[in-house]
Amino acid sequence: MSEFFNMFGGIGLAFLGAGLAVGLCCVGSARGTGCVGEAASGVLSVTPERLSSCLVLQVLPGTQGLYGLVVWFFALFRMGAFSGGIADVDVTRGLTIFAACIPMMFGGFLSAVYQGRVAAASINIVAKKPDDWSKGVILCVIVEFYAILSLLASILMLMNA
């Protein structure tokens, strides 16, 4: 096993962690926003004036993709990518950077998917009681809180990597 890590190298592990953080978050965001878009298209076909309410609900699951990009940026910063070249990263440091990206990988992916489901269900509020659409936003913000916790955990670990 250690031979594998030595062949892959610390830089490879660090890039893998950074790439998975942004990739999984973006996949989750795409899935979440797509789910909301599907639900909103039915409402908008009947009442197109509710576009702004539907768009707010659709945008919310997309924030996790941005959070993943922030973690990717911090990971590359820790690797020295923005100071003229990638530093020599040993296996221990590469694994540390990889591990620091794990909260955002899973927290971002899963919270985007579940937030998309909550937002898609909240489209029903827009359809039936358009003046109460902000209640759906509040329900989505509760899921967003856990994405923010994942972001915070990854950033704090990367700052100390």
Q: Which domains does the chain have, with CATH numbers?
A: 8-159 (1.20.120.610)
- Going by pLDDT thresholds of 50, 70 and 90, the confidence category of residue 158 is very high
Which one-letter amino acid corresponds to residue 137? V
**CA gap 78, 74 in Å, rounded:** 6
What 3-state DSSP class applies to 81?
coil
Lowest mean pLDDT among 28-32, 112-116, 157-161: 157-161
Q: What is the pLDDT of residues 54-89, one digit of tens each?
A: 999 999 999 999 999 999 999 999 998 888 777 788
pLDDT at 148: 98
Length of the chain: 161
Percentage, residues of the chain above pLDDT 70:
97
pLDDT at 2: 67
Does the pLDDT of residue 142 top 70, yes or no? yes
Tokens describing residue 78: 């820790």
Task: Find the angle CA(54)-CA(55)-CA(60) to the nearest 5 degrees.
Answer: 105
Of the two residues 14 and 86, the one the predictor is more confident about is 14
